[in-house]
Structure 1
Amino acid sequence: MDVKRRAFLRLAGTGICALPLNISGLVYASQEAAAKVQKKLITLQPEQAYWFSQSPPTDLWAMGQNVLRLQQHIPAEITVRNRLPDASSVHWHGMRVPNDMDGASGLTQQAIDPGQAFTYRFTPPDAGTYWAHSHHNTYEQLARGLCQPLVVEESTPYPADHDHLLVLDDWRLNSTGQLDLESLGSMHEWSHGGRMGNLLTVNREITPRLPVEAGSRTRLRILNTANSRIMALELNGLQCWIIAKDGQPLTKPLKTNESLTIAPAERYDLTVDIPTDWQGEQPIHETGSRTRLAGAFWQIIPGSKQRTERQSPQPLPANPVPVPGEGKPDHHAQLLMTGGAMGGLRSAIYRNTPMSAQKLSVNKQAWAFNGVANLPDKPLLSARTGATVEIEIVNDTRWPHGMHLHGHHFQLRGSDRYEPGMLHDTALMERNENLTIRFKAGLPGKWLLHCHMIEHQAAGMVTWIEVTA
């Protein structure tokens, strides 16, 4: 048995393995830009990962390329071909796209059947780090790997010597090294913290190497694509600044040398200064589990010259995202989160029918928003484009949740976890925590609001808001 195989079997018992890791402010393209349409092809298809030498490859699903890159303000036509045995769709997570392009099957579009194709058309209004993922039977298709990072390039390249992605994911493998498909849909996991894997990857590789020069400055784009695992990166005392959260630039880079906690679907852009005296390989540790894991390594290339002391990085150019500002909101709603293990949920409405906890469990529902399990017929609220909206979220459960709002970015109130004024499309809530999200209503349509511990969404934690013109 080879070393990697032994390491996997030894660490599987710990729960994870040490292996790899204008409307609404939209800017419309000029006539000159419109003539340049970015045409892309994404193929949803089976893929194999060669994670263990001397073992069969692991069967996954994928989107046919490592990263999708688009240009800000340039119209895009992205044709998605489905070569999988199941229907699917693609959600452009964090992107402010027209509602019928949002990719939420059953709400904004019909799923793309096997053998069929669908073309998504939109103009990216915001530069930054985003991702694309299935939004159909997401708990299964995301666990199979149906996602990819999405980078929208700024018009002027950001001044950094290197630009690296760090895409974190975990996978549940069985004793043969294949995805454990039999465990999908486990009500125990759906009612607890969600599906956790036993294999950590970074950029879908085993401990990849990120080449950087000693003394250089790197833009590091961090993305957590796991179904439910909250990740934490240890920055090893490096000189770091947060320059963007969920694709949206901070007005002033935030200096940090602390570990970075990242809920599923959250993204951070950092600038990282590599010390001039570093040599060889230096680990990047994931510390969110019981074991401190080296998920990736900086591969140090000797610098071409000695560099002087670095100045603080400049901020990224602001995106045209409407900021809600102060004052009384035009609309206010409360979202009470209940249920889950040890949550004491006795009853809820599911598909317009009141049900006991036992009946809910038979229907694989374990959570409720305002007493309703899964997608309700009526929206949580309805607001016109441009209106200021506040939603007070009360986490009356024993579990953390990563709340994601489609089509919008919001500011937070009541949380000391994030820097004030940050814009988010996804935010982590700890158990028994209350916070308020505040945003300007964007493009018209039906926009989902749900937990991105994706098993929680499948088991009831999802609602929607309506925006009218």
Structure 2
Amino acid sequence: MTTISRRGFLAASAAFSAGLVTAPTLTRAAAADGFRTLRAEPVSAPLLGPDRPTAGLWGFDGRAPGPVLRHRVGETLRVRLDNRLPMPTALHWHGLRLPNAMDGVPGLTQEAVPKGETFDYAFDLKDAGTFWYHSHQRAWEQVARGVYGVLIVDEAEPPQVDQDLLLVVDDWLLDRDGRFVEETLGALHDWGHGGRMGNVVTVNGRVRPDISVRRGERLRLRLLNPSNALILALTFGSLRPTVVALDGRPCRPHPVSENGLLLGSGQRADLMMDVDAEPGARIAIADQAYDDPAPVAHIAVADDVLRETPLDAPLALPGFEAAPVLDLETAVTADLLMQGGAMGTMDEAVYNGQRMGWRDLVRVNRVWAFNGVAGDLDTPLLEVPRGRTATVAIRNDTRWPHAMHLHGHHFRIVERNGRPVPDAPWRDGEMMGSGETMRIAFVAEEPGKWLLHCHMLEHSAGGMMTWLRVT
């Protein structure tokens, strides 16, 4: 995968290290009709420390990132979006199986919610897991400013752990005074290259926090990469975490790779591990995806010991063996060619129904294309009846990595670079390196229009989006 030089931390941010603050759960009382209000609004957040609030951010209920919503599987989520931003917005519920009208994609499933107005989202929570919600209107700006939050759906019988911790790893582009950099939003350089990259990395809105644990504790770590374009490859020092879920779906337990836990934009992972480090140890969680590995947080082992013998319960989540049955023999099929970007081979594409040359596409920031179309959503990539299997063969003919995300469904990779992939985990997003190919398969579920796009948000806005119709 392309190596990209990380922009250094601001010098001022290096001095701030606080204890881990898990994002708070939404506690505002529900209205008489059962809806809880999420107020989208401009906020200031102490990204660089309590005495240095960052201006220029947007979020929910005075926070950026927004509050954590927590429910149990089988419950009904009822959220009223109250838009107090200076522009329209909408909420996409990332990774969830839900009615198409609730998917939150302006121009495809709903109209954007104007400033000063509200929109009600209500749907049953079919699956337990780690999910998130975020703006899908000008996402390249609104998500970069903090218009997102986490949704945790607990199992009916959660696994036995001593701590259930959330780690939201994001990057922010700030100036030397700690203010959010607005001037480069929408910059063509970012759109045509690797996307907007920050110079300050936070975990739950804090720079390099400490995670306090005790020897012998069993941890569940829920990790989310909500960034516009940052790629993470997280390592855990001497600790040995087990991956038990990916993108909210339980998977066959397996250790984190020696190359690190790879998370592209929008991806999540649940880890479980028994803390076997000695009291007093301080272990870095580091990102080694780039050419200058850096810690993003530290696990600090307290002096007292909880237990010397690990719990008997398995390091696994229930339900990882259950999965939809893929019928590849009768699948509805489609091909998807990804082109464009800096140093690419694309010299023309269709935009707004007209074929345009590269220079004209650059003038309107449409520098990527799927199957020769630069983001027009007039025609679906494919139509598939509900209950049928569909496959999409994707080829990345660009010089850049991409994080492909399918709305409303989880898929399996059945082939990568011409080779079968047996027993791949179910995911709603997957990273693709330059020149790679993969074939994904899924079972069409809820009828409606479902977006398929690169979740590196500048790439999506620049033309890397299409959709499929479930009939």
Distance 2:463 2:321 in 1: 33
Q: 1:62 aligns with which of 53, 59, 64?
A: 59
Q: State whether residues 237 and 283 of structure 2, in contact with CA within 8 Å, keep that contact through their aligned partners in structure 1.
A: no
| Residue of structure 1 equivalent to 2:23 | none
SS across alignment from 2:416: coil
Given that 1:238 and 1:257 are in contact with CA atoms closer than 8 Å, whether structure 2 keeps it comes out as no
Structure 1 unaligned runs (5+)? 1-6, 22-35
Greater Cα offset, 265-274 or 47-56: 47-56
Q: Which residue of 2 aligns with 1:266?
A: 267
Shifted more, 287-296 versus 416-425: the winner is 416-425
1:256 aligned partner: 256
Within-5 A mapping of 1:293-332 = 293-309=294-310, 313-318=314-319, 323-332=324-333
Q: CA deviation at 1:237?
A: 2.9
Measure, in 2, the Cα distance between the counterparts of 1:241 and 1:231: 17
Residue 280 of structure 1 and its aligned partner are, at CA, apart by: 5.0
Structure 1 pair 292/421, CA: closer, same or farther in 2 (3 Å)? closer
Task: State the 1:287 CA deviation.
Answer: 1.9
Q: Secondary structure at the match of 1:182?
A: coil
Q: Which amino acid aligns with 2:256?
A: T
Cα gap change, 1:324 to 1:72, in 2 (>3 Å): same
Mapped contact 1:90–1:135 kept (Cα < 8 A): yes
Secondary structure at the residue paired with 1:70? strand
Q: Residues 440 and 52 of structure 1: is their aligned pair in 2 closer, same or farther, counting only changes over 3 Å?
A: closer
| Structure 1 SS opposite 2:243 | strand
Secondary structure of the corresponding residue to residue 189 of structure 1: helix
Runs (4+) of structure 1 exceeding 4 A deviation are 16-21, 53-56, 309-312, 319-322, 416-419
> Contact 1:134 / 1:141 at 8 angstroms: preserved in 2?
yes
Deviates more, 1:393-402 or 1:167-176: 167-176
Structure 2: runs of 5+ lacking an equivalent: 1-7, 21-31
> Contact 2:277/2:301 (CA < 8 Å) preserved in 1?
no
2:141 aligned counterpart, secondary structure: helix
Q: Could you tell me whether the CA contact under 8 Å between 2:390 and 2:441 is conserved in 1?
A: yes
Larger mean Cα displacement after TM superposition, 55-64 or 196-205: 55-64
Using the alignment, how far apart are the partners of 1:311 and 1:453 within structure 2?
41
C-alpha distance in 2 between matches for 1:232 and 1:242: 14
Provide Cα deviations, 1:358-410, integer angstroms capped at 9, x if missing partner: 11111110011000001331100001110100000011111100000000000
Shift of residue 316, structure 1, vs aligned partner = 1.4
Q: After superposition, give the CA deviation of every residue in 1:311-331 in whole Å (9 maximum; x if it has no partner).
A: 573431228986242541420
The Cα shift of 1:305 comes to 4.3
Evaluate the alpha carbon distance shift between residue 399 and residue 240 of structure 1 in structure 2; reply closer, same or farther with a 3 A threshold. Answer: same
1:42 counterpart = 2:50: no
Range with greater deviation from structure 2 (194-203 or 279-288): 279-288
How far the C-alpha of 1:228 sits from its partner, in A, is: 0.4
Secondary structure in structure 1 of the residue aligned to 2:369: strand
Structure-2 residue corresponding to 1:422? 425
* 1:159 equivalent in alignment to 2:160: yes
CA distance in 2 between partners of 1:226 and 1:256 (Å): 21
Q: Tell me the CA shift for residue 461 of structure 1.
A: 0.2
Map of 2:5 onto structure 1? none
The yes-or-no answer on 1:336 pairing with 2:337 is yes
Is the contact between residue 214 and residue 279 of structure 2 (CA under 8 Å) also seen in structure 1?
A: no
Q: Deviations over 1:107-141 (max 9, x none)?
A: 10111111111110100100000100000000000
1:351-366 equivalences in 2 (<5 Å): 351-366=352-367
| Distance in 1 separating the partners of 2:407 and 2:52 | 40
Change (3 A) 1:332 1:52: closer
Cα distance in 2 between the residues matched to 1:309 and 1:153: 23
Match of 2:461 in 1: 458
Structure 2 matches for 1:54-133, cutoff 5 A?
55=52, 57-64=54-61, 65-133=66-134
Residue 125 of structure 1 contacts residue 320 of structure 1 at CA under 8 Å; is this kept in 2?
A: no
Shift of 1:176: 2.6
1:57 alignment partner AA: T
Q: Closer, same or farther in 2 for the Cα pair 1:96/1:217, shift >3 Å?
A: same
Query: Which amino acid counterpart does residue 137 of structure 2 have in structure 1?
Result: H
User: Under a length normalisation based on structure 2, what TM-score does the superposition of the two structures give?
Assistant: 0.89
Give the letter for the 2:59 counterpart. Answer: A
2:375 equivalent in structure 1: 374
| RMSD across aligned positions (CA) | 2.5
Q: After the TM superposition, which of the residue ranges 253-262 and 215-224 deviates more from structure 2?
A: 253-262
2:247 and 2:422 map into 1 onto residues whose CA distance is 13
Structure-2 change in CA distance of 1:239 and 1:373 (3 Å)? same
